[in-house]
Structures are given as C-alpha cells and as structure tokens.
Amino acid sequence: MTSSSPTLITSVQRALHLLDSVGRRQRPVSAKALAREAGLALPTTYHLLRTLVHEGYLAREDGGYVLGHRVAGLGRHGDLPTWRTRPALTELMRELSGATYLAVYRDGEIELVDVVDSPLYPRTDLWVGLQYSGHATALGKAILTVLPEDLREDYLARHELADLTPMTVTDPRELRRQLVSEQGIALDSGEYQLGVTCVSAAVRTAHGAAAVAVSAPMARQSVLLESMDVLRRCANRVGLALATP
C-alpha cells in the first residue's frame, strides 16, 4: 500500500457489499447465496448479517434477508429531528428496562424511524417491517387510534392483516373495535413475536401522528402496563421535541 492509498476497513467493505447484494434482489436471499456471491466464509457472513440485522439495515424474512428499516429511512427523515427525541427514548429505556422505539405516520404509511436499545435491553427481532405489520404492533395500533377515521380506513383498506403469530388480530371488525376503544394507547401481547410484549403511546405532531413504545419479555407485561404514566410522559417529551423549530 502506498502512502497515497486510503485506509480501508475490510469488515465495513464486506458489510456494504452484502447490503448491495441484498438490495439487488426482489426477494429474500439466503446467507449461503450471499456468502457465495461475496466470496466469504459462511461463518463470517453470518456474523456480518447478524450485525446488520441488529442495527436495522437488514431484516429476516421467509428464511432469508431483505433490506431493513434503517436503509428505507436513509435520507428520508431530514425533516424529522430524531436527534432531539433520542434522549427521551434513552431515558425511557433505562426507566422501564426495555428497548424503545419511535414511529411516524407519513404519506399513508407507518414508518419506524428510531430504536434505542442496549445489550441488556435488546430490541425485538424486527423480522417484518413496520410498513407490513402496523396491525400487529403496539406502535402501529397506537398511531391508528389517533388518525382521523378516513385516514385510518384508508390505511386498513390498503394493508393486509397478515397472521404473524397465533395471537395476531386478523379480523378487521375486531381490529377496528380495538382501535376505536383505545385512546392513544396500544398493547401488543405476542401479536408480532411470541414471548414479547410491547406497549405504545401515540404522539400528535405537525407530521400527523407518531408513537413511542417499549418492548420487553412477556413476563414483564404487567409491569409495563402499570407504568403507562411513564410512557405518556415520554410521549409528551417526544411531541415537544418534534414541535420545536
């Protein structure tokens, strides 16, 4: 290497090449196929893929890998000051001992825009993107509870109520009943992923609607439900942060 050559990080290059490979596909791609294409050992490929999934740049789907929510959000949230909301999400994570999330409703879709977690409080495996699972997540349902009826009905008409777990509500009438009866608060009790619970509080913003949430193992569901005041305070902080010029 000459003195004019740039210093390159091989592991970063490999991860970016994997992202490129996944992005070129229209369907989920297996780790073995990615390893062959990249010329990498399978264990190395698994390590890189696991990291990319954890950070939200890839997601697991149908036994393979697809682009994750962080890729979909690159360059799209410049008008959403998530750097202002992260302190509130971080404090919520520490106070309720669970990973925290922020989602927004925009252009007819529900988008996950930030996740705060740690090795002690890892995020839920985001194996299905929020754009396809709003009906099965506390985040999505909290947002839908505060949307005007015409926007809520438009969203439900355009999105399949996929059966993600045996607990997922797929009956449109039952889902509508739940959404109408809630007041900006929603619960996911194993509907997105078995063994995991999530509670969420909606936030009204200049963008229309948003929601904050915290996830934890199902055994802690009662604790989360008893801490709704903490969640609401976080939602208020997030709302103020998003409204600040």
Tell me: the pLDDT tens digits for 161-199? 999 999 999 999 999 999 988 789 999 999 999 999 999
- Please say if the pLDDT value at position 205 is more than 70: yes
Report the length, in residues, of the chain: 245
Record the pTM: 0.71
> In angstroms, how far apart are the furthest CA atoms of the chain?
68
Kind plus residue range of the DSSP H or E element containing 153: helix 149-158
* One-character DSSP codes across 166-219: TT----HHHHHHHHHH-SSEEEEESSSSTTEEEEEEEE--TTSEEEEEEEEEGG
Domains along the chain with CATH numbers: 10-68 (1.10.10.10), 77-243 (3.30.450.40)
* Structure confidence at residue 155 as a pLDDT band (50, 70, 90): very high
For the segment 35-41, the average pLDDT, to the nearest whole number, is 91
